[in-house]
Structure 1
Amino acid sequence: MTQEIHGTVADGFEAVREEFAAFVAEERPDYEGQLCAYVHGRKVVDLWAGGDAGSLYGVYSSTKGAAHLVVALLVQEGTLELDRKVTYYWPEFAAEGKAGVTLRELIAHRAGVVGTDTGFTLAELADDRQLAERLADQRPFWRPGTAFGYHALVIGALTGEVVRRATGRTLQEVYEERIRAPYGLDFFLGLPAAHEPRFRTAQPMAPTPEQRALLDSLPSGPHTLAAIAFNQHAPEPTDLATLPNDPGVRARGPASVGGVASARGLAALYAAAISEVDEKAPLLKPDTVAELGQFHSVGHDLVARSHRSFGLGFQTTADVWHPFLGAGTIGHSGAGGCQAFADPRSGLAYGYTRRRYAFPGGAAPENDRLARAVHTAALAR
Structure 2
Amino acid sequence: MTQEIHGTVAAGFETVRDEFAAFVATERSDYEGQLCVHVHGRRVVDLWAGDGADADSLYGVFSSTKGAAHLVAALLVQEGTLELDRRVTYYWPEFASEGKGALTLRELLAHRAGVVGTDSGFSRQELADDRQIAERLADQRPFWRPGTAFGYHGLVIGALSGEVVRRATGRTLQEVYEERVRALYGLDFFLGLPAAHEPRFRSTQVMEPTDRQRALLDSLPSGPHTLAAVAFNRHAAEPTDLETLPNDPLVRAKGPASVGGVASARGLAGMYAAAISEVGGRVPLLKEDTAAEFGQFHSVGYDLVARAHKSYGLGFQATADTWYPVLGVGAFGHSGAAGSQGFADPRSGVAYGYTRRRFAFPGGAGVENERFVAAVQLAAPASG
Scaled to the shorter chain, the TM-score interval is over 0.9
Deviations 1:156-181 (A, max 9, x none): 00000000000000000000000000
Aligned counterpart for 1:140 among listed residues 142, 152, 156:
142
Residue 2 (structure 2) aligns with: 2
CA distance in 2, matches of 1:219, 1:127: 29
Q: TM-score scaled by structure 1? A: 0.99
Alignment of 1:24-103 (within 5 A): 24-50=24-50, 51-103=53-105
CA distance in 1, matches of 2:380, 2:16: 10
Aligned counterpart for 1:315 among listed residues 317, 321, 345:
317
Q: CA deviation at 1:358?
A: 2.4
CA distance in 2, matches of 1:250, 1:326: 33
CA distance in 1, matches of 2:175, 2:159: 14
Alignment of 1:287-366 (within 5 A): 287-366=289-368
Aligned counterpart for 2:177 among listed residues 175, 191, 204:
175
The number of equivalent residue pairs is 381
CA distance in 1, matches of 2:361, 2:45: 25
Deviations 1:340-374 (A, max 9, x none): 00000000000000000122211010000011111
What amino acid is aligned across from residue 340 of structure 1 in structure 2? Answer: G
Q: TM-score scaled by structure 2? A: 0.99
Aligned counterpart for 1:163 among listed residues 157, 165, 172:
165
CA distance in 2, matches of 1:313, 1:279: 28
CA distance in 1, matches of 2:212, 2:180: 46
Q: CA deviation at 1:205?
A: 1.3
What amino acid is aligned across from residue 254 of structure 2 in structure 1? Answer: R
Deviations 1:93-130 (A, max 9, x none): 00000000000000000000000000000000000000
What amino acid is aligned across from residue 310 of structure 2 in structure 1? Answer: R
CA distance in 1, matches of 2:79, 2:377: 31
* Residue 18 (structure 1) aligned with residue 11 (structure 2): no
Percent sequence identity over matched residues? Answer: 81
Q: CA deviation at 1:380?
A: 2.6
Q: CA deviation at 1:29?
A: 0.7
Q: CA deviation at 1:213?
A: 1.7
Q: CA deviation at 1:274?
A: 0.2
Q: CA deviation at 1:331?
A: 0.3
Q: CA deviation at 1:57?
A: 0.1
CA RMSD for the aligned pairs?
0.6
Q: CA deviation at 1:293?
A: 1.1
Residue 119 (structure 1) aligns with: 121
What amino acid is aligned across from residue 36 of structure 1 in structure 2? Answer: C
Alignment of 1:180-199 (within 5 A): 180-199=182-201
Residue 244 (structure 1) aligns with: 246
Q: Show structure 1 runs of 4+ deviating over 3 A.
A: none
Task: Report SS of the residue matched to 2:352.
Answer: strand
Unaligned runs of 5+ in 1: none
CA distance in 2, matches of 1:218, 1:107: 26
Residue 283 (structure 2) aligns with: 281
Residue 378 (structure 1) aligns with: 380
Task: Report SS of the residue matched to 1:223.
Answer: coil
CA distance in 2, matches of 1:103, 1:363: 27
Residue 368 (structure 1) aligns with: 370
CA distance in 1, matches of 2:355, 2:139: 36
Q: CA deviation at 1:209?
A: 1.5
What amino acid is aligned across from residue 321 of structure 1 in structure 2? Answer: W
Q: CA deviation at 1:236?
A: 1.2
Q: CA deviation at 1:280?
A: 1.1
CA distance in 2, matches of 1:340, 1:267: 6
Q: CA deviation at 1:35?
A: 0.1
Deviations 1:206-260 (A, max 9, x none): 1111211221122211100100000000011111110000000000000000000
Deviations 1:58-83 (A, max 9, x none): 00000000000000000000000000
Moved more, 212-221 or 344-353: 212-221
Q: CA deviation at 1:379?
A: 1.9
Task: Report SS of the residue matched to 1:201.
Answer: coil
What amino acid is aligned across from residue 49 of structure 1 in structure 2? Answer: A
Residue 200 (structure 1) aligns with: 202
